[in-house]
Structures are given as structure tokens and as C-alpha cells.
Structure 1
Amino acid sequence: MAQPYPPGARLLARPDQAAPCPTCGTLLGRGYPDCAACAETVDAYWLADWAALLSGNGVAEGTAEERDLAAMVLADDPGAHPWTCDDWAMRRTSCPYCRAELGSGALDCLSCASADQARWAWDHTAPPQAMRPDEHALRLTVAGLRSAEHRRPGVVGFWRLLLPFLLVGRAPTREESRRVRLHLMAGREDELSEAASVEEMAALPALPWRG
């Protein structure tokens, strides 16, 4: 019997530290999903799990059988597959109403909204060891950036700043997140972008008017 809530995004090793992207020049991942190199690096963790699922079911990529498998994954109960496979199945499925990637359409598309809400059942019902905080944050960030045009600019900016550090397994604490958001609201994105770690972003000195 398959393990319920098999972990996701753990087949590939994480990098030891955030490094510049050779294509867009920002920290690797920050250009997601528009930069091809950033997208390839981030998506590799999802694709590794999806490829394992395809192989285990004797299904080839890009076939009608793959589309059928994606539909089966989405119909299964939460925890039947790694969360990465749930996400990738949504990417392989077009919304029947807005035709966008399922779950990434406009906020007024009820089909996409329902699919996006359903994906988080995995996170909420899984046992603690099945998903680490950095994995949940990585999943949330990537899902949000795939529908960035429908999100508030401040939220998108926060996700982009953090993604390179989530890739190395470093999720911010609540206090660090609060401080980074405050700096971002104060228009200090350039300073935040130059930081080499979450700690450095959170440690920017407060502006005088906030003293």
C-alpha cells in the first residue's frame, strides 16, 4: 500500500546557497516564471516527482495517457500523491471555462478558484513530517507567481524576493516576514534585492521615520 501523503520536492538535492542566475542576473529563482533558467531550476523539483509518477504508471510524457493520469491525480483524495504531482497535474490541465492553466486563471473564474482552494487540502491535512515549512512556503510562492497578474504587486514582490532562499530550504520566520514586508512597503526593493540572505533582508536598519 502506498504511503499516504508522500513528500514532494525531495528527489533532487537543494543548492547550498542562493546564487545569481546565469540568464537574468538576479538570484536564481527570482525571475520565475518568465526567465527560462529560473523556471527550469524551480520546476525541476516538481518535474522530478511527476516523472517518477509517469514512470511508475508506464506513461510517456506528452501523450493522451499523461492527460488521463493528470485527471486521475486531481480526482484522487488529498495525500494520494506528492503535492508536487497535484500541482503538476493542474499545470497539465486547462480550465474548462477560462482556458488558463487550471488554478491560475482570473480571480472571478470559479473553476480556477475552486481548484486552487482544493490543492491546499494536502497541506492542511498532512501529518507534520510530510511537509516542512519551507516546502509549504515554496509551494505557495510558486503557485502565486504562476498567477502573478491576478495578485497585488506587493505580495508578488515579497514572493519574488524570497523564492531564491526558499529554494535552499530557508523559510523566513514570522518576524522576518513582517520586517521584509515593511521594508518592501517603504519602497526599499533595491536594498532588499541586494541582500544575500533572509537574515540580511530582515536586518535592514529601520527608516528614521519609523524610529
Structure 2
Amino acid sequence: MRPTAVIDCPACGELAGRGYPTCLVCAELVDQFWTLDWRPLVEAAGLPEQELAELVLQEDVGKLPWTCTDMAMTVLRCTACGAELGTGDLPCLRCRVADEQRWAWDHIGYPTRMTGNEHAMRVARMVLRAPHRQRETIVEGWRLTLPFLLLGELPTNSQAQRIRAHVLAERYDELAACRSLYELAALPSVPWRKEG
């Protein structure tokens, strides 16, 4: 299921996955990891998807795969703000509570039932689905690394810090040209900030 190499998306021209969630091809490539668990659950339940999503979110944390929790939230709209549940503007209390509850799965599932790569993909997906809830540099960092996360890779702490430093130095375009995680973290350290 995972891609075996980084490729260019035929729809948006970015590295495949980087256009998530606005590019339909990138969205399909990323979301397939979530729908692998969700589709069989929907078929087995025999319920309308929204009704099933409500039931999934009422289950004890860890009873169903974390991917199902995320897909349930993707299917549901917030009754307070109308956004995808957990992605509304920060002042929306219902979205804030739903988003906080989502991460309870990580606390009980990692590292025995969720790998570091899966956790990173989950964070990347949620940041990119609600970019207005994060600083731009955080969104850019996850956008840059998502194509490599799809391959099953995971940046080391050192690599993540170097990538973040380059994003903060406004070197996104240079980073976006890199075709490997190693390349992303290996850009020269100078100049720290682009001159305008």
C-alpha cells in the first residue's frame, strides 16, 4: 500500500502527498491509510456513515483503530461552527474538545499499537486539514515531510530540528526542491535567513 519511492503528483506537480488535502490525488494517497480501517467498519456496521461516526466517537479509547477515530471526525461536522469536527477556528469550544480527545488514542496506543511513523502521519494529516490552527512554519514543516512519511520514513530529532530551522529561515522553496528526507535535513546552514 505504501509508495516505494517519492514521485511527483500528476495533478498538482508537488511531491505526492504535499498537496494534501486540497489536491484530490494527494488526498487519496494520504487518506488511503485511514480508509483501510474505515471502509470495512462502515460495511460491517450497515449504518449511515454519519451515524456510525457518532458511535465511533462514543467508544472507549483504543477499542477501535485510531484511524477510525480520525475518519469519524472527518465525516462529522461541528454542531457549533459547521467545520469538520476538530478543525474549526480556535475559539470553537466543541472543536477544541474533540481535537483534544482525538489525541487520547496516542497516549494509550504509542509505542505498542502505533508506530512513530504512524503518529507523525497522524499529526501531519491533522495539521494540514486545519492549517489555521497552527503557526505557518509548523504547517510548512509537516507539508515538506509528508511525502517521506508516506514511504514509512521518520525524521530523527536532529533532522526535524534542521528542517524546522530552515523553515524558520524562510527557505521553504529550497526545501521543497529536495527529494529525500536526508536532503531536506542536509541543506547548508548559511545564510540563516534569506535576504529580501
Shorter-chain-normalised TM-score: which range? over 0.9
1:55 matched to 2:46? The reply is: no
8 Å Cα contact 2:166-2:192 kept in structure 1 = no
Match of 1:83 among 45, 66, 76: 66
Partner in structure 1 of residue 115 of structure 2: 132
Partner in structure 2 of residue 46 of structure 1: 34
- Residue 128 of structure 1, CA deviation: 2.1
When normalised by structure 2's length, the TM-score is 0.94
Whole-angstrom CA distance in 1 between matches of 2:145 and 2:95: 25
- Residue 41 of structure 1, CA deviation: 1.1
Partner in structure 2 of residue 34 of structure 1: 22
Deviation string 1:3-50 (CA, Å, 9 cap, x unpaired) is xxxxxxxxxx21112111001111001011111111111111111211
1:152 matched to 2:140? The reply is: no
State the number of aligned residues.
193
Change (3 A) 1:200 1:209: closer
When normalised by structure 1's length, the TM-score is 0.88
Measured on the aligned residues, the alpha-carbon RMSD in Å equals: 1.4
Unaligned runs of 5+ in 1: 1-12, 60-64
Which secondary structure state, in structure 2, belongs to the residue aligned with residue 145 of structure 1? helix
- Residue 150 of structure 1, CA deviation: 2.8
Partner in structure 2 of residue 206 of structure 1: 189
Deviation string 1:94-120 (CA, Å, 9 cap, x unpaired) is 111001110000011110000000011
Seq. identity, %: 49
Higher RCO structure (Cα 8 Å, ≥6 apart): 1
Partner in structure 1 of residue 178 of structure 2: 195
Whole-angstrom CA distance in 1 between matches of 2:128 and 2:108: 24
Whole-angstrom CA distance in 2 between matches of 1:209 and 1:36: 35
8 Å Cα contact 2:69-2:102 kept in structure 1 = yes
- Residue 209 of structure 1, CA deviation: 5.9
